[in-house]
Structure 1
Amino acid sequence: MVKLFSKEDVLKKAEEYHVKFVRLQFTDIFGVLKNVAITVEDLPRALDGLILFDSSAVDGIVTEGETDIRLIPDPDTFVIFPWRPREGAVARLICDVAKIDGTPYPGCSRGILKQTLKEMADNNLNLYAGSRAEFFMFKVNESGQPTIIPHDLAGYCDLTPLDLGENARREMVLTLEEMDIEIGSSHHELAPGQHEIVLKADGALAMADKIATMRFVVRTIAQRHGLHASFMPKPIEGVSGSGMHLHLTLFSEFTNIFFDAGVSNKLSDNAQHFMAGILEHARAITAITNPLVNSYKRLIPNDTAPRLRGWSIGNRATMLRVPGETGGEVWIDVRTPDGACNPYLALAVLAQAGYEGMRQELPLSKPLECKPGSLFKTQNIFLPLNLGEALESLHKDKMISKVLGKHVMGFIQKVKQAEWNRYQEAVHPWEVNEYLSRY
């Protein structure tokens, strides 16, 4: 539900709920949630954008060119953390980041998404998004450090006593709902220790805020239960990885313009052009939605991993899938993203690619409905096989580069290329086990 909070509303609510500390939260270029904590006495200054900080916190790395930046809180994101004391309560505000002169800071990923959505809104188009986020809960060792030992041996939709994380997951859901985040469902996933929480659709900016908040809440509640929650895409060899599907719908005023009752698959021309735009830029988009070396261990060729640059209704190996229409609603399930991505940048590049597809009226390819195994021989429909390939595609894609801007592109290329190089240079245990005794 959209809220319209003013500065005065925030100050009144902070007083009413005895707030003592406020966390000014923002996300760096690489999707890591950061915050600056202030006391409630400084809240009026914060709401006026007078809290200054160092740009390295937003850029994700320290360089010689740091500048001062302003944190500009969004009053609509004010919420009180339910697990904190009611006296001396702690609240949060999600912030945009601006330069000292008040203009948008080019490293602010939330600002990048807002700019993309504004361009669409100026043409009476509003993007809505939902999310299905998967994660593992692992045991910790005697020192409190995370292990990769799952906390249970349950499977898909199992209940207690097999699902030992049910209590923690229930508390996560209740906490998120207290923070005005609507939950569609939650359950145990396929792999031991793996869970899923579904966030109901909202405006794309609000959904990016909710995803960032959800990851923070999940990890916090897991820790309170003596567990470590991880959104790492593929933490355990031989079992399913964790994704973060994004469900996209486009509205013009109150009309879902992806829906057309007059065609057999209910996909309007707008939906088809939007999907074609995403597929046109799919390889570059993958560098944003799947930003880790480890991301590509999840995107392996099998019957369910979304490895194919295509769309389908029933084939879960495709990047895009269109679930069956229900009650006049149609949405696009983007299956590739994982929980390590920056949700603001992921939604920005998907939105712009789809919008460009509509503007250019790009034709949609035929659905890839045959068995995935028969498609894996067709190399040109693969998504990137590794982070190196994805970064190369990103470097060549002028449209996606323009969405991100030179500042963000520069940092992504620098940091992620270095990450890929480190991985390439490392000698992995598999190599030692495979080759040392034989050669």
Structure 2
Amino acid sequence: MPPRTPLAAADDVLLARAVIGRVARAHGLRDTFSPVPFAGGSGNGAHMHLSLTKDGVPLFSGGSLAGDLTTEGARAVAGIVRELPGSIAVLAGTVVSDERMQPGHWSGATACWGVENREAAVRLLRANNGNPHGANVEVKCVDSGANTYLATGLLLGFAASGIERELALPAPVEVDPRELTPQQAEAAAVVPLPSDAAGRIAMFEESQEVRAVLGPELHAAVLAVRRYEASLDAGPDLHARTRFAWSS
């Protein structure tokens, strides 16, 4: 789908899922948007791309910083990367999301950023002939079980906060994060994202920035839902947890 304004883009995702479901059923098939459709199979990501402009000027290209970022573009990326650990309960918070959120699966399982780095949670795609809409960032940890509206709001809120707080962007990670030494990981502020329900819920509850972006009422509602889902977890049986629970 082509780039759109935030709300219109989220609406398009919802409409596309409805159309896919109806077409599938019309042909005797069944669709699924589960983060892991089949036990032992590949993950079902829903990576989110976003770009920012100010007065019509792109913030993710034409600058002098790493990846050609502008100063405000770098601050926006820093805001997103910094707050990802506390937001996974929204971005990838279902009972099977942890099966996808693993290193080596292109799922962005590590909070860091890089230019064209498919293992980084935030991947900067430069503007080029194959990318006619201009430079953008891809948040790879978002999966297909996420509420697109909440995910969009969180990421934009983090970006705006990064600009407002003038956050410094760590150096880009140019390799698979697993190849970094502990010293290199610390220098680049690289941390693994939570990959289990307990970790996701705890970090979501503790994140003041997530609470500020969502607002206290919505934050409390998401927290209650995630806790309830965790209490209903089917347990270690992966086949039970990868049923078509997210089919439209």
TM-score interval for Structure 1 and Structure 2 normalised by the shorter chain: 0.7 to 0.9
1:405 is aligned to 215
> d(CA) in 2 for partners of 1:415 and 1:232?
17
Select 1:353's aligned residue among 158, 166, 181. 158
Select 1:366's aligned residue among 158, 171, 175. 171
Say whether 1:205 aligns with 2:15.
no
Distance 1:249 1:239, change over 3 A: same
> d(CA) in 1 for partners of 2:21 and 2:238?
29
Deviation at 1:300, TM superposition (A): 1.0
Distance 1:277 1:300, change over 3 A: same
Whichever residue aligns with residue 82 of structure 2, its letter is E
Deviation at 1:209, TM superposition (A): 0.8
Q: Judge conservation of contact 2:125–2:138 (CA < 8 Å) in 1.
A: yes
2:246 is aligned to none
Select 2:118's aligned residue among 274, 291, 316. 316
Q: Judge conservation of contact 1:285–1:350 (CA < 8 Å) in 2.
A: no
SS state at 2:68 partner: coil
> d(CA) in 1 for partners of 2:224 and 2:209?
19
2:243 is aligned to none
SS state at 2:47 partner: strand
Mapping 1:177-256, distance limit 5 Å = 199-256=1-58
Deviation at 1:371, TM superposition (A): 3.1
Select 2:237's aligned residue among 428, 433, 437. 428
Select 2:75's aligned residue among 248, 265, 273. 273
Q: Judge conservation of contact 1:324–1:330 (CA < 8 Å) in 2.
A: yes
1:191 is aligned to none
Name structure 1 gaps, 5 residues minimum: 1-198, 431-439
Could you say which structure has the higher helix fraction? 2
Distance 1:245 1:371, change over 3 A: closer
TM-score by length of 1: 0.49
Q: Judge conservation of contact 2:106–2:140 (CA < 8 Å) in 1.
A: no
Structure number with higher relative contact order (C-alpha < 8 Å, ≥ 6 residues apart):
2
Name structure 2 gaps, 5 residues minimum: 240-248
Identity within the alignment, %: 25
Distance 1:264 1:302, change over 3 A: closer
Distance 1:364 1:429, change over 3 A: closer
Distance 1:282 1:429, change over 3 A: closer
1:260 is aligned to 62
> d(CA) in 2 for partners of 1:361 and 1:278?
13
Q: Judge conservation of contact 1:267–1:330 (CA < 8 Å) in 2.
A: no
> d(CA) in 2 for partners of 1:332 and 1:294?
25
Q: Judge conservation of contact 2:120–2:140 (CA < 8 Å) in 1.
A: yes
SS state at 1:260 partner: coil
Deviation at 1:385, TM superposition (A): 1.7
Whichever residue aligns with residue 229 of structure 2, its letter is E
> d(CA) in 2 for partners of 1:426 and 1:394?
22
Deviation at 1:301, TM superposition (A): 1.8
Whichever residue aligns with residue 360 of structure 1, its letter is R
> d(CA) in 2 for partners of 1:284 and 1:416?
13
Which structure has the greater CA radius of gyration? Answer: 1
TM-score by length of 2: 0.85
Most deviating of 223-232 and 374-383: 374-383
CA displacement, residues 199-249 of structure 1 (integer Å, 9 cap, x when unaligned): 110101110111111111111111111111101001213322111111111
Q: Judge conservation of contact 2:67–2:115 (CA < 8 Å) in 1.
A: no
Could you say which structure has the higher strand fraction? 1
* Paired residue total: 231
Q: Judge conservation of contact 2:65–2:71 (CA < 8 Å) in 1.
A: no
CA displacement, residues 105-131 of structure 1 (integer Å, 9 cap, x when unaligned): xxxxxxxxxxxxxxxxxxxxxxxxxxx
Q: Judge conservation of contact 1:305–1:317 (CA < 8 Å) in 2.
A: yes
Whichever residue aligns with residue 135 of structure 2, its letter is V
Distance 1:277 1:336, change over 3 A: same
Most deviating of 239-248 and 253-262: 253-262
> d(CA) in 1 for partners of 2:216 and 2:166?
27
RMSD of equivalent CA atoms: 2.3
Distance 1:341 1:364, change over 3 A: same
